[in-house]
Amino acid sequence: MTRPIRVEYPDAVYHVTARGNEKKAIYRDDRDRERFLAALGETVERFGVVVHAYCLMPNHYHLLLQTPRANLSTAAGWTTYSIRFNRRHRRSGHLFQGRYKAHLVDADSYAEELIKYIHLNPVRPKDKRRPIPTGRKRELMDYQWSSHRAYAGYIENSSPSWLSLDWLSYYGSTRETAQREYCRQIEQMFGQIVNSPWEDLQQGLVLGGEALSARVREVLSKAEGQEEIRWQQRADAACVTETIAAMVEKETDKKIAMWLRVRLGGERMTQVAAEYGYRDGSGVHQVIRRLEQKAAKDQVLSAYLQALVEEARRCQV
């Protein structure tokens, strides 16, 4: 089994989740849930991790964490819960299915959406293509094992002391207005299909825009592990593909557009031929060969093609 990639830097934000081994329950009763939250609180105190949201489900959990000290791997103190669970229930073996998953998150772009998505887990139907039943509103209000009630303002004085509600600021400028807006948005989700924010996940690791992706590529470019190297290669390839597609769309010269797609994009000539009206790839080959022969004699064209090459490489670290 490959080792999960861990990208760490000061104040990084992660969505962390783990499932029970063989999809089995990781909590057998409320005492187990209390012990899990206690272990999480110990992690906050010991390692300075900030917990922005959480939700405990029967066979998995969701956490939104921030690491001011860039120490997610060493701060995974809640894994001590496995030892406590096994001891209490007199069992042995792995409680969780592998190591936890940690996706990097651009909080400014996704905090609101992720908080709601995580908090709605207890009432979302098993078939995620179906809307949340409107009759489950009370069930969500009564659910004790997430940070939803703290965000909604139902338990002002009894929420965990280690839970940070700083992200309420994404919903409003004051605590009262933010909680009111949060509740309004949650209310609107009932009767609707909740789209998964993970549809926007890039390269299996990053939920955010180009700035966050670039930072991740920079961190991983200095790593020597094989998984980091393979991720970097996939990320670079995806970045180049997107860049070339944008360049082709802007290019007014059909011959140069074909050259871009074949020489820089690595597309097959037969595929390009069909789109440009050629019978087979030989026609595209002739166009590209003549363009390159012309560039060998034309300094202006040569400089332009070289500039396109450099533009395609800019997204690589």
At a CB cut-off of 8 Å and minimum separation 6, what does 186 contact?
116, 119, 120, 140, 148, 152
Confidence (pLDDT) at 239: 64
Q: ∠ at Cα 224 (221, 227), nearest 5°?
A: 85
Confidence (pLDDT) at 228: 38
Confidence of residue 248 (pLDDT cuts 50, 70, 90): confident
Q: Which residue has the higher pLDDT, 128 or 189?
A: 189
Domain boundaries, the chain: 12-192, 239-313
Q: For residue 16, give Cα distances in angstroms to 70, 101, 219.
A: 15, 6, 19
The predicted model gives 182-198 an average pLDDT of 93
The predicted model gives 132-150 an average pLDDT of 96
For residue 223, count CB atoms less than 10 angstroms from its CB and return exposed for 0-12, middle for 13-18, buried for 19 or more.
middle
| pLDDT for 219 beyond 90 | no
Confidence (pLDDT) at 170: 95
Confidence of residue 236 (pLDDT cuts 50, 70, 90): low
**Beta strands, E only, the chain:** 12-19, 50-57, 60-67, 101-105, 206-207
Confidence (pLDDT) at 227: 39
The predicted model gives 155-163 an average pLDDT of 83
Of the candidates 160, 212, 231, 172, the one whose C-alpha atom is nearest the C-alpha of residue 11 is 212
The predicted model gives 30-51 an average pLDDT of 93
- How high does pLDDT run on average in the chain? 86
| pLDDT for 224 beyond 60 | no
Q: What does the DSSP 8-state code read for residue 277?
A: T
SS3 116: helix
> CATH classification of 12-192, choosing from 1.10.10.10, 3.30.565.10, 3.30.70.1290, 2.60.40.2300?
3.30.70.1290
Specify the residue for token string 């309004």.
184
| pLDDT for 163 beyond 80 | yes
Specify the residue for token string 């849930």.
33
At a CB cut-off of 8 Å and minimum separation 6, what does 220 contact?
5, 7, 228, 231, 232, 235
> What confidence tens digit (pLDDT) does each residue in 269-314 have?
888 888 888 888 888 888 988 998 999 999 999 999 988 888 876 6
Tokens for 198, please give them: 């993970």
| pLDDT for 173 beyond 90 | yes
> What confidence tens digit (pLDDT) does each residue in 70-99 have?
888 888 766 688 888 999 999 988 898 877
The predicted model gives 234-241 an average pLDDT of 58
Confidence (pLDDT) at 166: 94
Confidence (pLDDT) at 1: 44
Tokens for 194, please give them: 């909740």
